[in-house]
Structure formats: structure tokens, C-alpha cells
């Protein structure tokens, strides 16, 4: 294979990829199916999903249809640094039009989950998780002034103003995969 610095090589040697899958004793397809992309093997590469995907439209490289094919061929490491799955807006247009009930959105997210296991996760996502854990809100702006300006109390009636609820949420998070992965500090 002509190996580029990173990402997907210009020529794919499928035999080498297949060989690698055998050595690693787990098929990429099976991994992503475990992560929720149950139906990806039913894909017939018709392209309907790509025809409506905003990501394909604005020029991301590994949008739904192509990503599915890449996974079926056994690509994994090559894809880990690609931003496309993290750009998926979860709009589910693809799910709505897919004639094979693949739900490409689930594939995009399964790949995110696979990437997370390999710690190939964007900083912004980590920040979101940290904020979720600390405040119960992923998008946590210092919007206090704005709230007051429109006549609302400084804090909304959420985990932000309810210690017990925040503790509950933390308990939940500590009992999920998030804690297993150790992506963010959770030892308070």
C-alpha cells in the first residue's frame, strides 16, 4: 500500500486489510454492529442516503454511503482521524430515505463510539462531556446576565440549581461506559 502520512491511502490493498482483520480477530463490521449499526450489512450502496446528506453536500469525505462501504471492506485505523462522523448532524434524512432500512445515522454514530474507544475523540466532545458531568448541561454558557435581562432567575430549575439532581446524574454517568472509558475525571 502506498502509505500516506495519515488517513486513507490512495490505493487500498484489500487483501492486506482482510489479512489485518484476520490477525486482529475481530471484524470491523461486527464492531460497529455491536455499537448500534445493526443493519449495515443490508446496505446495497444505492446512494440515496448520500443524495440527501448535508455532509456529502458540503464536501466531507466519509459521509454515510462511503463510510458504510469502507467499514464493509474492513477499514478502521485509516478512518479514526477523519472528522466526518463527528460532523453528522443526526438529522436522519438518510434513515428516512434508505430503502434497506440501514439507518446510516446509526452507522455514523456507531463509528463515533468505535472512535471513542480508541480515544480518537475531538476536544470539543470531551469538553461537552465534562460540562455534562459537572453541571448537567453540555452547552454551559455563562448566560446568567442574559437570563436576568429577560426577567428569569439566574439559574434554571435544572441540575444547575439542584444539588441532589446533579448528584443523581453523576451517579448515572458513573455507571455507564463513560466511566469505564475514563475520558473525563469523575472522582468527586
- Applying CB under 6 A, the residues found at the interface with ligand SF4 are 43-49, 52-55, 64-65, 68, 88-94, 98-100, 102, 104-105, 108
- Which of ligand SF4, other proteins, none has residue 64 at its interface (CB below 5 to 8 Å by kind)? ligand SF4
Decide if residue 151 touches other proteins (CB under 8 A): yes
40, 111 in Cβ contact below 8 A?
no
Distance in Å, CB of 121 to ligand SF4, minimum: 17
Match 485509516 to its residue by C-alpha cell. Answer: 78
CA 65/CA 32 separation, integer angstroms: 15
Distance in Å, CB of 112 to ligand SF4, minimum: 11
Decide if residue 87 touches other proteins (CB under 8 A): yes
Query: Quick check: helix, strand or coil at residue 22?
Result: helix
- Which of ligand SF4, other proteins, none has residue 187 at its interface (CB below 5 to 8 Å by kind)? none
Distance in Å, CB of 73 to other proteins, minimum: 15
CA 99 to chain centre: 23
The x, y and z cell numbers of residue 165, run together, are 439532581
| Residue 147 burial (CB count, 10 A) | 13
CA 124 to chain centre: 12
- Which of ligand SF4, other proteins, none has residue 36 at its interface (CB below 5 to 8 Å by kind)? other proteins
Decide if residue 120 touches other proteins (CB under 8 A): no
Amino acid at each position: 500500500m502506498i502509505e500516506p502520512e495519515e488517513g486513507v491511502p490512495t490505493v487500498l490493498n484489500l487483501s492486506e486489510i482482510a489479512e489485518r482483520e484476520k490477525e486482529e480477530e475481530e471484524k470491523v463490521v461486527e464492531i460497529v454492529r455491536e455499537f448500534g449499526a445493526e443493519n449495515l450489512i443490508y446496505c446495497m450502496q444505492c446512494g440515496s442516503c448520500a443524495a440527501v446528506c448535508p455532509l456529502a453536500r458540503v464536501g466531507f469525505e466519509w459521509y454515510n454511503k462511503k463510510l458504510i462501504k469502507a467499514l464493509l471492506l474492513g477499514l478502521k485505523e485509516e478512518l479514526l482521524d477523519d472528522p466526518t462522523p463527528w460532523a453528522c448532524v443526526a438529522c436522519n434524512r438518510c434513515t428516512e430515505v434508505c430503502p434497506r432500512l440501514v439507518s446510516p445515522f446509526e452507522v455514523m454514530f456507531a463509528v463515533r463510539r468505535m472512535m471513542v474507544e480508541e480515544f480518537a475523540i475531538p476536544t470539543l466532545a470531551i469538553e461537552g462531556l465534562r460540562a455534562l458531568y459537572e453541571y448537567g448541561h453540555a452547552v454551559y454558557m455563562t448566560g446568567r446576565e442574559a437570563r436576568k435581562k429577560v426577567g428569569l432567575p439566574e439559574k434554571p430549575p435544572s441540575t444547575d440549581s439542584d444539588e441532589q439532581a446533579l448528584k443523581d446524574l453523576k451517579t448515572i454517568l458513573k455507571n455507564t461506559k463513560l466511566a469505564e472509558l475514563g475520558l473525563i475525571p469523575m472522582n468527586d
